[in-house]
Structure formats: C-alpha cells, structure tokens
Homo-oligomer: A and B are copies of this chain.
Amino acid sequence: MSEALGRPHFGTDHPIGVAVLGMGNVGTEVVRILREHADDLRSRAGAPVVLRGVAVRRLGVDRGIPDELLTTDAEALVARDDVDLVVEVMGGIDPARKLILAALNGGKSVITANKALLADYTGELAGAAERSRADLYFEAAVAGAIPVVRPLIQSLSGDRVNRVVGIVNGTTNFILSAMDETGADYDETLQEATRLGYAEADPTADVEGYDAAAKAAILASLAFHTRVTAADVYREGIARITGEDLETAAAVGCTVKLLAICERVPGELPPEEGGKDRISVRVYPALIPRKHPLSSVTGAFNAVVVEAENAGRLMFYGQGAGGAPTASAVMGDLVMAARNKFFGGRAPGESVYAELPIAPIGDTPTRYHVNLKVADRTGVLQAVAGEFAEHGVSISTVRQEGHDEGARLVVVTHHAPESALADTVAALAERESVTSVTSVLRLEGTEE
C-alpha cells in the first residue's frame, strides 16, 4: 500500500468508521453490504471500513444486526471520535440537515441520498464541507443506482452541457407505463400502483412531481454550474393525465412521460455582445415520440439523457429506486470517501461559478399538442388557426376529425414561448366556436 498523501491519513490498519443514519430500505442494504463485503471494501478503500453504529427511530425491533450497533441517539453517533464517514439515508429535512451539518463541521465526510434536502440546502452543506475539508457525496440522490451525478460533476467537467432530460421518478413512470399499456385511467392505475408497492400511501411527492423537481434542481445545478433550488423548478404532476391523453398520444406515435428537463436557453445576443445564457428547469408530463430513447423506459426504471456540445447525446439507464440499487450508489460514494480519508484526496466541491439566471417558464420555448372540441361548421379551422397566428405561434400540423357532438381539432405547434402558447389556449377557450379544450400537453424530444 502506498504512502498516504495529504491529511488526514491513517496507517493501513487504522479502520475507517462509518455511521449509518436510518435503517429503511436503503439503510438496511447499506448495512448488509458493509457487513457481507467487508473484505472487498477493505481492499478497495485501502483500509478496513467498519460499521460503528446505526441510528434508528426506535429500538426493540429485530433488524438482524447486533443490538449494540443500534442507537436512537443519532447526534451522539455522528459525534463519536471513531466515526469518519456518515451515511444519511433517513430522508426528510430535519433532523437530517442538522446531523449532516454536525458531521461536516466535525470534518466527517457525508454520503447522502436525500434529494429533498440537497435541492434546497446544497449550498449550506457544500459550504460546511468546504470549510472543514470534508467530502459531500450524493450519487444516490438522483436516479438510484444509475451513475448520473458523478458523470455530470466529473466526466463532463470539460464539456458544455446543453440539456439534461430524465425520467427520474419510478412511481409516475410505472403509472404512466401502465396507463399506456392497459388504457386504464389515472385513479385506477394509482390504486394498483399503491397495492403493488410502487406508490406510497401518500403519493403526493411523486405524482405531483415534487420528487422529480428536487432531482431536476440537483441535475441542473451540476449541469450548468449554477445553484438551482426546488423553488426554481416549474412543476406539474401527472394527476390530470387521462386514459384519453394516452390514446391521443398513441394516435400520433407518442407516449406520455413525466420528464425532468434542464435546458440551456441561449441569450438573445451572442455571448461576445454580452448575451448570457439562461437555464430552464421544469418537470411536467409531456408527449415524446415512441422512437425517442426515453419512450422505451417503462415501469419503475429511470433514464437520463445528457446532451453536451462535444460528447453529443449520452444516455444512462437503470434502476432508479429500491433498497439495493440505491445502496449500490451509496456504497460507491462511501468507498471513494473512505479512499479520500485514507489517501488524502477530496471530492470535487460545489461548482456554481456560472451563476446563470433562471428563465421564467413563460419565456421557455416549448411545443403544445392541443385537443379541441369545436362547432362543426365552416370557418372554425380558420378561426382557430387565426388565434395561434395572432399570438405568434406557428402551427406544425392540424388534424380535423368528425365526432358525435361536433368536430375535433388536434393542433401541434412549433416551438414558441410557453406564455404565448398558454395565452393562445386561454383565448381559444373563450371563443364561441370552441366547445372545449379537451387536453393540452407539451411535446418534447422532437427535433422540430
């Protein structure tokens, strides 16, 4: 074994102590791997990696590990002198935030899977890590086992990322895939997902897009070297998606996915004239063509597509949730953090130098796919088309279909600022010849 580089460093046999906070699905797997694969971990980290304790909410439950490893006093566990690394897999903002800060302030490196916390407090946590020269790792916070955080921070650090589009929430993807397959409606499918364990008893965080928005904030921060928080993310959930939306999608060779989209919006002036790029970060269900690589990502799987100036289009695919896959990501970070303790390295810190402004959703160019019920008489198509033109929105295709209670128009636009599209739809709804706006969905993943 080589000499240690930098500080702090230990002899080869000086173990690296680990505290695990939380013993749910992920924590249980982390503890299992730490115990079952101790030999491999020792060889890979450079020193023995030893579990010092696990903080749980209550004792007296058989968790398959010696009682003396369990404690309800997370604070005392984090503060122990023989704890060098803290794995936070309890979730939630408090007390996770306080415990992580205590660990970092004490010079202990932290591995966390806590997207909600990171989406709002990365700045604070990264600052604490920086001050005490500790590491803050969080590969597990986005897309479970799929390496996305590390590729964005490290592999693409010499490139210019233009877009990140991901399916990063397994629950909603399971529901939308099932609706696409069975033709069933949202409520029914959500019930089935809950029954099968793909949705939680309170599914709000997933189906309303909060979970995806937190992940989008993290991805955008990394991709654009800019601090982005959950509040910067425009968000719509999937609760209003109907079986009919999926039928309509299928009719035009598309499916519906809840997408997390992080996009560079070029400045109106070129950079040499002081134009500055802005970024758009948004989460909503959208139509994507069936030939788009994300359309075949079904069920609880996750995938992230990254488009960069030199790398071109990359895709990362795998299991985005679940105890063992998430633990795999935690353990990779843990081995790296342990190596750094041993060899004296450092994880790359937060990089927010670019400080790109967030473009309001209204300014963001999107495409709309609008379903209208209209009066079945001449001149209606012309009137509808006129409304789009008046708002400066260019139409890509219009399909007219006869219907029992009148005609139906399906209009697909070219890219236009979201506000112009929304205004057009609002104006259409007011028109006497438009019986109703049946559905409005954005269209993503097209070249135009």
User: Which residues of chain A have a CB within 8 Å of any CB of chain B?
Assistant: 2, 5-7, 29, 33, 37, 40-41, 43-44, 130, 133, 139, 145-147, 150-151, 154-160, 225, 293, 308-319, 324-325, 327-336, 339-340, 343-346, 348-349, 351, 353-354
Q: Chain B residues near A43 (CB, 8 Å)?
A: 225, 351, 353-354
- On whether the beta carbons of B325 and A312 are closer than 8 Å, the reply is yes
Q: A150-B151, A154-B150, A158-B33 are in contact. Are A328 and B345 (CB under 8 A)?
A: no
> Which of B133, B156, B315 meets A5, CB within 8 Å?
B133
List, in ascending order, chain B residues with CB within 8 A of A327's CB.
310
A332→B155 contact, CB < 8 A: yes
Can you give 11 A-B contacts (C-beta < 8 A)? A5-B346, A43-B354, A44-B353, A154-B332, A157-B335, A158-B334, A158-B335, A159-B331, A311-B319, A312-B318, A314-B319
In the bound assembly, the distance between CA atoms of A314 and B308 in angstroms comes to 21
Contact partner of A344 (CB less than 8 A), chosen from B139, B346, B348, is B346
**Cα(A43)–Cα(B312), bound, Å:** 22
- Given the known interface contacts A293-B317, A344-B5, the answer about A312 and B157 at a Cβ–Cβ threshold of 8 Å is no
- A371 shortest CB reach to chain B, Å: 31
- A2 to B128 CA separation, bound complex (whole angstroms): 12
Q: Which of chain B's residues has its CB closest to A352's CB?
A: B43
Q: Which of A130, A328, A339, A349 has the most CB of B within 10 A?
A: A328
Complex contacts, A146 vs chain B, CB 8 Å: 314
A346 to B4, CA, bound (A): 10
In the complex, which residues of chain B have a beta carbon less than 8 angstroms from the beta carbon of A154? 147, 150, 332, 335-336
B residues less than 8 Å from A330 (CB atoms): 158
A332 touches B158 (CB 8 A): yes
Chain B's closest residue to A151 (CB) is B147
A280–B331 CA distance with the chains assembled, in angstroms: 26
Report whether B314 and A316 are in contact in the complex, using a CB–CB cutoff of 8 Å. yes
